[in-house]
Amino acid sequence: MADYTNEKLNPQVTASYYDYLIIGGGMAADTAARGIREQDSFGTIGILSSDNDEPYTRPALTKKLWTDSTFTEDQVALNTTKEIKNTTLKLKTTVTAIEREHHRVQLENGTSIQYKKLLLVTGGEPKMIDGPDDEHVIPFREWSDYRRLRDFSGNNQHVVVVGGGYIGSELAAGLIQNNTKVTLIYPDEVLGGSQFPSKLAKEYEASFRDAGVELLNGRRAESYTKEGESFTLHLDDGSTVEADTIVIGLGVSPRVSLAEQSGLRVEDGVYVDEQLRTTDPDIWAAGDIAFYPDRILGRTRIEHVDHARKSGKAAGKAMAGSGEAYTYTPYFYSVVFSISWKAIGTLDPSLTTLIDEVDNGKVVYYLDDNLPVGILTWNIEPDLDAVRSILSDPPIDPQSLRGMIRSQ
């Protein structure tokens, strides 16, 4: 029988040493453990997570759980410790310090754990606006946030979503399809205007308006107050909006304080080499916090699930001695209503854009000095390797880009 442990409720630490210790309990932690196990069948793996839940598929929290009735919560968990032998998961566990010289981490409960090799996949901290803590104010990030929002939505309750990025737009789209009154506040003049060419941004915004979402464009929520059971959001133009529940979807800041405090090199994120190793030879970093050298995009930091999965796996394998570089260039994607898009690289509509009509969708090339630095596919199913190939070795004449990407 597999030797594994899943200590869920604020555990006292029973093991004081792991061959591989992972700080962070998201999708990157899950794939890292699987990567380790591909290289090392027996080394002990410990995962220290501040989350309430075992690793889970995060995209479902803003997508399928709201829009696909056949996808249920029992499909969200990744079953990390059930499927990976000799792996211990400790939830509700906060690491307060890394003592590199002793190969040891200190925990908030006063205990410590030693490691042979350490991986940082600490993810991001949701950005907030000023206001009192309340269960009806949700900086949306975790599975527990989804459960709260489920409880506070439906029955025509009024949910105000702050932020028009991935999280905000997907939740607004999901909520409006679940008998909820939705207001979306975002700073762009047109929703998606900071990423998409004007024509596509207008199409994107119209899909929300047509579905019944109240759109407050060109505005930022600065703070909120509570009176009785109702909230009032205060916007930067002096106006106010009432709400039963507030969802904050303003993105995240990378959690790099542990790395900084331990003396690791930190720039935009935790600085790593081609194998995702930090400036300490026994510490790696992956996922949202890794500032890594991408073979196509150059040194960058990416906050998206594809990168979390792939970089976590690569870091785990490298920790266990694979010697392999992380050569994958991740894509990002979103699905709202009838619009599905995927992209690699820089989406900046201030650049020159070339739009290619493909079947019933479009391909947008973002050009800098006539060379593509980002590619967006809109309502088509692209060959993403072809997208990567174009970005790494583009044609000299940008007009030659037309027809290079087709729907599969």
Output the six-digit token pair for 362. 């479009």
| Whole-structure pTM value | 0.93
What domain range is 41 assigned to? 5-125+252-319
Q: What one-character DSSP code corresponds to residue 12?
A: P
User: What is the reported pLDDT for 408?
Assistant: 86
Q: What is the mean pLDDT of the chain?
A: 95
**Based on the domain organization, do 79 and 142 belong to the same domain?**
no
pLDDT tens sequence across 261-277: 999 999 999 999 999 99
pLDDT tens sequence across 135-170: 999 999 999 999 999 999 999 999 999 999 999 999
**Based on the domain organization, do 22 and 97 belong to the same domain?**
yes
> What whole-number distance in Å separates Cα of residue 16 and Cα of residue 10?
16
Mean pLDDT across 65-88: 97
Percent share of the chain, pLDDT over 90: 96
pLDDT tens sequence across 284-331: 999 999 999 999 999 999 999 999 999 999 999 999 999 999 999 999
Q: CATH number for the domain including 99? A: 3.50.50.60
**Based on the domain organization, do 119 and 256 belong to the same domain?**
yes
For residues 250 and 165, is the Cβ–Cβ distance under 8 A? yes
**Based on the domain organization, do 299 and 346 belong to the same domain?**
no
229 in any annotated domain: yes
Mean pLDDT across 194-217: 98
CB within 8 A of 271, min separation 6: which ones?
Answer: 264, 265, 278, 279, 291
User: What is the reported pLDDT for 15?
Assistant: 53
Does residue 8 surpass a pLDDT of 50?
no
392 in any annotated domain: yes
**Based on the domain organization, do 25 and 85 belong to the same domain?**
yes
Mean pLDDT across 209-226: 98
Which of 216, 248, 280 is the last residue before a domain boundary?
Answer: 248
333 in any annotated domain: no
**Based on the domain organization, do 10 and 109 belong to the same domain?**
yes
Ranges 15-19, 173-177, 231-235, 379-383: which has the least confidence: 15-19
Q: CATH number for the domain including 362? A: 3.30.390.30
Q: What one-character DSSP code corresponds to residue 60?
A: G
Dump the DSSP string for 191-230.
TTTTTS-HHHHHHHHHHHHHHT-EEETT--EEEEEEETTE
The total of structural domains in the chain comes to 3
> What whole-number distance in Å separates Cα of residue 151 and Cα of residue 135?
11
**Based on the domain organization, do 33 and 121 belong to the same domain?**
yes
User: What is the reported pLDDT for 182?
Assistant: 98
192 in any annotated domain: yes
User: What is the reported pLDDT for 38?
Assistant: 98
Which of 248, 267, 298 is the last residue before a domain boundary?
Answer: 248
**Based on the domain organization, do 225 and 145 belong to the same domain?**
yes
Element (H, E) at 399: none
Does residue 62 surpass a pLDDT of 70?
yes
Mean pLDDT across 27-55: 98
324 in any annotated domain: no
